[in-house]
Structure 1
Amino acid sequence: MGLIIKAISTKKELKEFIRFPDKLYAGNKLYVPAIHSNELFTLSFDKNPAFEFCRAKYWLAYNNGEIVGRIAGIINDRYNENHNIKFARFGWLDFVNDKKVLTLLLEEVSKWAISQNMEYLHGPLGFSSFDASGILIEGFDEMPTSFAHYNFPYYSKLIEELGYKKDVDWVEYYVKVPRYVPEKFKISTELIKKRYKLHSALLKNKKDILKYADDIFKLINEEYKDLYAFSQLSKKQIMALKKQFALFLRPEYISIVLNSTNEVVAFGITMPSLAKAQQKAKGKLFPFGFIHIMNALKKNNTVEALLIAVKMDYQNKGVNGIIFTDIMSAYIKNGITNFEATRELENNIKINNLWKKFEYRLHKQTRCYIKQL
């Protein structure tokens, strides 16, 4: 039969598509399996609300009947319309170390994109910024964060050999949590709160967090709109994300900053790292994966940054200091020693400079590629 590619047409094939990386990375101590049920939701046309404004097609590559690669083609019409461009995305890219396999996968997506009148192909990207993105180009000896995707070093080499160029890079920082909150942090935080009439929301439980959820997502849509590949979230997407992440939230690791009228003007959301728990779960929440996840939420020495945003009117006023004072206190109290900043654009100087106040190192870098069709 040789090397062939096939578009997915059945639920069985979609499940094989989802499970392929588990086989490709079997035995790799740094690979973190995605939760299969979450992947199935994201990739299902009848479940993921992103399909209100996205189109997609998925393929599997076979060599003599054995799966050797996978890829998704995605067109986010909302993103294209907002930026007046004709870009298609490729995502969920995994393949054996064979240039012929990668060539076949990318050529198939390119043909599909051209048939949809697209002019460029870029990726790896998902339907939204909440999906895993980028090819790892540095940090192959580091554990990925909970919602990132590990890949072998040969990925970037072969992609570049096929004429794909760097579009943007994301960087990740590993930060040591200090033994105590510096006194100058506490003093400056109180001054900033007083000067701008700000206060931190009292968060005792998940119900308290969800009370502010809609305002948080509104702020995300406002402040992230110009970020690379970001597409504003719809009401249905927001509902789905609230449901997806509610399980993982711990109030003490979240800071929500309010003004005098209790409007959300900034927030920082972090959570205990689930990477090792996901390895133990092997992509399955049940029957035992859920237990590993819950244990990691309760007992951990590492947290990951999920999201941070500050309303435009309050930027460059030291509001980030309030967020860090809030959550650092909780880290120290609960024995957290390590903080991982998840993927940030390399040119996002405001965010990147935050970590320079602490002991840190840049330990991972990922890349989004682009090619004209």
Structure 2
Amino acid sequence: MSRLARLKGRLSTADQPFDGWLVLAALSLLLIGWVMVTSASSEVASSLTGNAWYFSLRHGVFLLAALVAGGLALRVPMAWWRANGPLLLLVGLALLALVLLVGREVNGSRRWLSLPGVPFNLQASEVAKFCLILYMAGYLERFLPQVRREWGAFLRPLAVMAVVAGLLILEPDYGAVVVMTGAVMGMLLMAGAPWGRFLVLLLLVGAIGALAAVAEPYRMARLTSFADPWADQFASGYQLTQALIAFGRGHWLGMGLGNSVQKLFYLPEAHTDFVFAVLAEELGLVGAIAVVGLFALLIWRAMAVGRRAELAGLAFAAYVSYGFALVLGAQAFINIAVSTGMLPTKGLTLPLLSYGGSSLVVSSMMVALLLRIDIETREVRRRARPTARRAGPGKAPPSGKRQGSTS
């Protein structure tokens, strides 16, 4: 490809208002999620409320609220999020502390806040996840050279993460701890922190995890049931064995939409944590791979948005993009891995797809901010383009404009 053709390709990409593939992947997952929640919850809804469409209608309301929240987030400039990162972190920490005091307990976990006059609960960890990424992105922008050189600057964000993790463990919500810790460490790695520090931390975290696993009998039960769920398929291994049966029924093309057998009171939490198992049973291997492909497309485009922002000199926007991509990717991977027996049960929803208002709203806001970052980055590049043209084909643009014009 000639130099002129490459330049035309770059200009045509910059002329687009936003990343269409990112929007396509997110909207496709939202619509597939509504269809699958409707299918997976119909029998449970009929048994509990007498209305087979109960959870479907609620999910539709959540979906509308998520789109409204995403639209509002899209209108807020990234400069506002950057300036208010520390305040947002305090809000997240306050919610995590509040849920321990007055939160609603479900299945032995205290994770939800009941809001007066609102017919649904707020999951504090979802809001904290969003706030933490914004704070970490601002920290990395301010102290990037120190993070790369000094242990102190490297450990400070991990100390903040330790406080968040401590509050989450008290709920307990170990799945959120894994997702947030992975996202923070991934952001530090992408910021250029030395590899040796991560090896030391991985050994330390591994040792702490092993001690935590043997400290409580129910954690050991989860690990042993994960290793061999069929050994106790009617107790600790029940949920996983039922999910694996769902995958086995699906074959290549599935049993057909709405024809799942496992959702008939065999598979617990079929429309929340294990909606992917019902999807695989009804749509088969082809449908399951298509959904995995949509998640891969979403994460790829989110990383591409971050890369473009980084090349344009928008460090805060870049690290926000990387953080959101890591959160969405890690949570999707863990949920699917749990459903397929690759990881022990964590109790995490599938982003943009599972039933649940808090997860749906926060995930939609993450996608909206990715779009906002992409729009602002493209605007910066469009402004830099005339400078590059004035420089002429044989001249280099000014140093302050080089990244924006050639990225």
Fold shared per TM-score above 0.5: no
Larger radius of gyration: 2
Structure with the higher fraction of residues in helix conformation: 2
TM-score of the pair, normalised by structure 1: 0.29
TM-score of the pair, normalised by structure 2: 0.27
Structure with the higher fraction of residues in strand conformation: 1
